[in-house]
Structures are given as C-alpha cells and as structure tokens.
Amino acid sequence: MRLAATATLLGCLTVFSLLSMSPFAHAAEASLHSGDVKAIFADIKKPGAKAVLVNVWATWCEPCRDEMPSLLEFYRRHRAEGLRLVLLSVDDEANRDGVLAFLASQGVDFATWIKRGDDQALMRALDPEWSGNIPASFLFDGRGKAQQRSYGPVNEEALKEVWDRVIRSRKGR
C-alpha cells in the first residue's frame, strides 16, 4: 500500500513537472487596467511607438468580437515596426472576468483597458464628432496626434494605407 501511494505521488509530480514545462504554462496574459480618459491618453502618448492604434470594443458587441482576430493580426505584423495597440473595453466593470476571458481566447498578452468614468469625456477626447458607436478605431502617430478614425469594423486595407503614411512621414524627418 505504501509503495502504491509513493508511485501515485511520483506520477502526480511527473505530470505536474511536464505541465510546468509546457510552452503555454508561463505564457503572458493580458492585464486589464481600469482607466479614465487621462490614464488612457497617457498610454496613447507614452513614448516608444511610431503609431498607436486604439480600438474601442465590448464583449457584448458582435462586430467587435468579429474584427478582433484581424485587428490583432495587423498589430502582430507591424508591432516590430513600432505599432502599439491599445484595446479599450467599454464593458461594465462588473464584466471584468468576461473581458479577460475574451482577451485570453484571442491570445492577447499585453496590457489592455476597461473604461472608467464619463462616456462623453472619452468620446470628446478621442473624436468630438464620434457618436460612441462601436467598434471604433483611432490611429495616432507617435506623438499622440490623431491620424485616422474608423467607425464600425476596421478595414485592414485602410489601416495599412494610413500605417504606411505614418511610417513614411517619420522616415522623412
């Protein structure tokens, strides 16, 4: 009996060891920060990026969920060239776990935001003409100056065109 218990314990330790060596065991996860307009814009204007793509979305918005894979793919293709992606959920704070679960399902492994505070202030800060409909995407240059806005699901061709223009303008300096 004692031998069986020892064998069981060794088997469990072996399985645990193998699981901890899995390439996914220590994979980075998205972190979700609650932020008001000031905190979110500090992230947008944080030095180091050539351009910042801000996507406003929610878990309850089907077009938002549908566009997320292509948006993340665009980001991953251009991240090494200086693109930063800021994902901003407008879900209620009470749905924080749902937001994190969705981000994990999409393989998001970077810091993201969940909006806190006044909706109108956020809308005015991103674009005074924005109605607040989502999804909405905003491309800023590395200094935080708005370059492009897209209401509704993002058009990858238009993003690429604006991205190329932002990169060309930076090379011209």
149 CB-contact burial (10 Å; exposed 0-12 / middle 13-18 / buried 19+)? middle
Residue 54 lies in a domain: yes
pLDDT value for 154? 85
Residue 5 lies in a domain: no
Residue 46 lies in a domain: yes
Q: How many domains does the chain have?
A: 1
- Long-range CB pairs of 45-48 (<8 Å, 24+ gap) are 45/140, 45/143, 45/144, 46/84, 47/142, 48/82, 48/84, 48/142
pLDDT value for 5? 40
Give the type of residue at 37.
Answer: V
CATH number of 143's domain: 3.40.30.10
pLDDT value for 76? 94
Which residue range forms the structural domain that includes residue 32?
A: 28-171
Tens of pLDDT along the chain (173 residues)?
A: 443 443 333 344 333 333 333 333 334 677 899 999 999 999 999 999 999 999 999 999 999 999 999 999 999 999 999 999 999 999 999 999 999 999 999 999 999 999 998 889 999 999 999 999 999 999 998 888 998 888 999 877 877 887 787 777 766 55
pLDDT value for 8? 38
